[in-house]
């Protein structure tokens, strides 16, 4: 009957449109209610096939009872003569129930004898294609177990806005691939290296820090050897800015003197660091932003050699001792290679926070990310030019993540710098002799 058909078609179309709209407007509930259960059942049902295809199964001898030869799951051709026999079966790693995550799902596996988590990491790309997902990340938090985390679509294609920073020296600058916030927290990771080719999003990250730190009671200091073009617009909020080599030398000397001063204060108060000082005595933390680190080390001619050596030593001292005395470094650069001199290698060792944006040469990625998992390096090399701000980040927990910074325009950073200009402590005040504990008691 034609009218019944058209009613059925109409209902189908309405359901399809409803589902489409649901998925479009409230993806999270759609995913939890409909997408995830279907995915979980499919993943469990197809796991044997997928594991076999990705080479994650092992052969085991099993007694098998069958009357129908086709039921025996084996790669070899099995001729069933008896109903009860011992045959080689492909066993798959035991899979727990997949659990939904913000951007996909994760599942724990019991790995088979002789396997290591790296076998699963090697198969990650195969798994991602088998499941039709953007990526599969492999971690292992217990011997004998691996956890696979699948992200359905690249969550870093669009990222939201920079949220306000509420905690001292802590700025949420972007989002990790896992959906969690990407936090630059100078109190846990004091010094950072931020590498990347031009247009990869280095300055965007510095802008995010300016916006995040401007309202906070911290002194911001800039080193900008590209003639000051990057940081001069933010000078209202900067307590000091060095734009030439001579100024850099002077400012670094100041920082070293400041550190020595603070050391004295801490010693008098028997404090190990400025955070153990009573709040009244605690000096203001200083965040040092360096744009184009290589410029600090590049030599036009031999006459600059001594000056560069001095700069390099001072910067290294700041990195080595700054942490305890509230001086934090954030160094950006296109290349952070050892070809710039031994000073850079030593500085790199002091910077535990590593950020690697898109880079032109594999060496820079290796230099920046150091001896992290080779998969991190592959991931860094695969960052596309169309997604500036995407980076591989290694922080305090020894793990690495793919992340993307929130877009922060120069205008936004300039606006923040102007709005909070009154919170910038004058450099003279920062440098002024620190209050001594004994002079207060006397």
Ligand X SMILES: Nc1ncnc2c1ncn2[C@@H]1O[C@H](COP(=O)(O)OP(=O)(O)O)[C@@H](O)[C@H]1O
Query: Does 203 show up as a binding residue in the annotation?
Result: yes
Does the footprint of Mg ion cover residue 194 (CB under 5 A)?
no
H-helix or E-strand spanning residue 52 = helix 36-53
Does the footprint of ligand X cover residue 407 (CB under 6 A)?
yes
DSSP β-ladder status, 170-176 and 145-151: unpaired
Distance from C-alpha of 235 to C-alpha of 232, rounded to nearest angstrom: 5
Stretch that binds ligand X, among 65-73, 246-254, 320-328, 404-412 (CB under 6 A): 404-412
Distance from C-alpha of 31 to C-alpha of 100, rounded to nearest angstrom: 8
Q: CA 201, 411, 165, 384: dihedral to nearest 10 degrees?
A: -20
Query: Does 132 show up as a binding residue in the annotation?
Result: no
The correct pick among 35, 93, 98, 196 for binding ligand X (CB under 6 A) is 196
Query: Does 197 show up as a binding residue in the annotation?
Result: yes
Stretch that binds ligand X, among 116-124, 202-210, 268-276, 280-288 (CB under 6 A): 202-210
Does the footprint of ligand X cover residue 200 (CB under 6 A)?
yes
Shortest distance (Å) from residue 334 CB to ligand X: 8
Site track 122-151 with Mg ion (rule: CB under 5 A), x = hit: ------------------------------
3-state secondary structure of 350: helix
Q: Among residues 222 and 285, whose Cβ is nearest to ligand X? A: 222
Q: Between helices 124-131 and 36-53, what is the axis angle to 10°?
A: 130
Shortest distance (Å) from residue 201 CB to ligand X: 3
Query: Does 405 show up as a binding residue in the annotation?
Result: no
Shortest distance (Å) from residue 54 CB to ligand X: 33
Question: C-alpha angle with apex 247: 243 to 249, nearest 5 degrees?
Answer: 125
Does the footprint of Mg ion cover residue 203 (CB under 5 A)?
yes
Does the footprint of ligand X cover residue 155 (CB under 6 A)?
no
Q: Among residues 234 and 407, whose Cβ is nearest to ligand X? A: 407
Stretch that binds Mg ion, among 11-19, 202-210, 358-366, 434-442 (CB under 5 A): 202-210
Reported in sequence order, the residue ranges of 206-347 that DSSP labels E, i.e. its strands, are: 219-224, 238-242, 286-291, 327-333
Distance from C-alpha of 120 to C-alpha of 127, rounded to nearest angstrom: 9
Helices and strands, number each (H, E), in the chain: 15, 17
Does the footprint of ligand X cover residue 364 (CB under 6 A)?
no
Nearest residue to ligand X by CB is 389
Distance from C-alpha of 58 to C-alpha of 147, rounded to nearest angstrom: 19
Q: Among residues 198 and 439, whose Cβ is nearest to ligand X? A: 198
Query: Does 74 show up as a binding residue in the annotation?
Result: no
| Site size for ligand X (CB under 6 A) | 13
For residue 175, list its beta bridge partners.
Answer: 181, 404
Query: Does 200 show up as a binding residue in the annotation?
Result: yes
Which of Mg ion, ligand X, none binds 364 (CB below 5-8 Å, type-dependent)? none
Q: Among residues 241 and 391, whose Cβ is nearest to ligand X? A: 391
> What does residue 432 show for φ and ψ, rounded to 5 degrees?
-55, 150
Shortest distance (Å) from residue 193 CB to ligand X: 14
Query: Does 201 show up as a binding residue in the annotation?
Result: yes
Q: Among residues 56 and 380, whose Cβ is nearest to ligand X? A: 380
Return the exposure string of 306-332: e unless at least 16 CB atoms fall within 10 Å of the residue's CB, then b.
eebeebbebbbbbbebbbbbbbbbbbb
Does the footprint of ligand X cover residue 333 (CB under 6 A)?
no
Find the distance separating the first CA and the last CA of the chain, reported in whole Å.
103
Nearest residue to Mg ion by CB is 203
Distance from C-alpha of 313 to C-alpha of 260, rounded to nearest angstrom: 15
Stretch that binds ligand X, among 93-101, 256-264, 399-407, 418-426 (CB under 6 A): 399-407
Shortest distance (Å) from residue 198 CB to Mg ion: 7
Distance from C-alpha of 277 to C-alpha of 266, rounded to nearest angstrom: 7
Are 378 and 148 in contact by the 8 Å Cβ rule? The answer is no
What are the C-alpha distances in Å from 133 to residues 94, 126, 128, 374?
Answer: 21, 10, 5, 22
Distance from C-alpha of 376 to C-alpha of 397, rounded to nearest angstrom: 15
Which of ligand X, Mg ion, none binds 239 (CB below 5-8 Å, type-dependent)? none
DSSP 33: I
Query: Does 345 show up as a binding residue in the annotation?
Result: no
Longest dimension (CA), the chain: 103
Q: Residue 239, Cβ neighbours under 10 Å: how many?
A: 21
The correct pick among 103, 147, 191, 202 for binding ligand X (CB under 6 A) is 202
Shortest distance (Å) from residue 194 CB to ligand X: 9
Site track 277-316 with ligand X (rule: CB under 6 A), x = hit: ----------------------------------------
- Indicate the annotated binding residues: 196-203
Question: Which chain residues interact with ligand X by CB under 6 A?
Answer: 196, 198-204, 388-389, 404-405, 407
Q: What does the binding site for Mg ion look like in residue numbers (CB under 5 A)?
A: 203
Mark the binding-site residues for ATP, compressed into ranges: 196-203
């Amino acid at each position: 009957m034609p009218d019944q058909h058209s009613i059925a078609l109409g209902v189908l179309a309405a359901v399809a449109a409803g589902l489409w709209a649901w998925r479009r407007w409230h993806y999270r509930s759609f995913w939890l209610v409909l997408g995830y259960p279907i995915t979980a059942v499919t993943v469990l049902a197809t796991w044997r096939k997928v594991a076999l295809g990705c080479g994650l199964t092992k052969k085991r001898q099993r007694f098998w009872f069958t009357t129908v030869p086709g039921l025996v799951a084996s790669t070899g051709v099995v001729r069933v003569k008896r109903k009860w026999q011992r045959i080689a079966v492909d066993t798959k790693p035991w899979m727990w129930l997949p659990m939904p995550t913000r951007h996909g799902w994760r599942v724990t596996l019991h790995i088979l004898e002789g396997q290591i988590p790296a076998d699963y990491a090697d198969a990650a790309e195969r798994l991602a294609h088998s499941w039709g997902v953007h990526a599969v990340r492999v971690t292992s938090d217990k011997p004998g177990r691996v956890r696979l985390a699948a992200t359905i679509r690249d969550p870093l294609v669009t990222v939201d806005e920079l949220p306000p920073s509420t905690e001292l020296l802590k700025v949420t600058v972007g989002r990790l691939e896992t959906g969690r916030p990407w936090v630059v927290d100078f109190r846990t990771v004091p010094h950072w290296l931020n590498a990347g080719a031009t247009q990869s999003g280095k300055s965007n990250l510095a802008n995010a820090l300016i916006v995040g730190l401007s309202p906070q009671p911290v002194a911001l200091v800039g080193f900008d050897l590209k003639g000051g073009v990057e940081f001069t617009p933010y000078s209202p909020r900067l307590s000091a800015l060095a734009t030439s080599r001579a100024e850099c030398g002077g400012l670094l000397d100041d920082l070293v003197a400041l550190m020595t001063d603070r050391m004295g204060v801490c010693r008098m108060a028997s404090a190990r660091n400025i955070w153990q000082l009573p709040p009244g005595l605690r000096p203001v933390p200083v965040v040092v932003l360096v744009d184009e680190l290589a410029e600090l080390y590049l030599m036009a001619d031999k006459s600059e050699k001594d000056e560069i050596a001095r700069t390099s030593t001072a910067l290294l001292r700041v990195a080595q001792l700054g942490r305890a005395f509230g001086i934090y470094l954030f160094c950006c650069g296109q290349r952070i290679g050892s070809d710039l001199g031994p000073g850079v290698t030593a500085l790199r060792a002091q910077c535990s926070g590593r950020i690697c944006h898109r880079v032109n040469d594999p060496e820079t990625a290796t230099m920046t990310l150091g001896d992290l998992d080779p998969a991190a390096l592959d991931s860094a090399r695969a960052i596309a030019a169309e997604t500036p701000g995407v980076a591989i980040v290694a922080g305090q927990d020894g793990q690495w993540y793919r992340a993307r910074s929130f877009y922060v325009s120069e205008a936004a950073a300039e606006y923040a710098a102007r709005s909070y200009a009154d919170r910038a402590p004058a450099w003279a005040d920062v440098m002024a002799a620190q209050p001594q504990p004994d002079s207060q008691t006397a």
